[in-house]
Amino acid sequence: MPQIVVLPHVELCPEGAVIDAKPGVSVCDALLEHGIEIEHACEKSCACTTCHVIVREGFNALEPSEETEDDLLDKAWGLEPTSRLSCQALVPAEDDLVVEIPRYSINHAKENH
């Protein structure tokens, strides 16, 4: 079973996490199933960017993004070449992923003072 390594995020996952993920489920669903409360304001319908993640390892194992996702990603805060909407990126059959949840999203800013 593939694993998703979640890099530390100040609020959602301060210690980082390593989770087992079922192939074919969305990265968003895998995170939520393991208690990592990533935002998904559009209820995972590919209509916002709040579930944006940066795939640090395993990006090429993912199915290519579709035009709708690409158009939305253009609006995401902190866009990188390996950015994906976690509601659209499906866990690959064998390869592990390393993902980073950006500190900010279009929905609101997360700041620690």
Q: pLDDT tens digit string along 22-76?
A: 999 999 999 999 999 999 999 999 999 999 999 999 999 999 999 999 999 999 9
d(CA 77, CA 83): 10
- The pTM for the full model equals 0.91
Whether residue 85 contacts residue 72, with contact meaning beta carbons closer than 8 Å, is answered with yes
**Domain residue ranges in the chain:** 3-100
Grade residue 103 by pLDDT with cuts at 50, 70 and 90: confident
User: pLDDT: is 101 or 77 the higher one?
Assistant: 101
> Biggest alpha carbon distance in the chain?
40
Whether residue 71 contacts residue 98, with contact meaning beta carbons closer than 8 Å, is answered with no
* pLDDT value, residue 96: 98
- How high does pLDDT run on average in the chain? 92
d(CA 107, CA 50): 6
* pLDDT value, residue 11: 92
Question: Yes or no: is domain 3-100 CATH 3.10.20.30?
Answer: yes
* pLDDT value, residue 104: 76
Q: Give alpha helix (H) positions in 19-89.
A: 27-33, 67-73
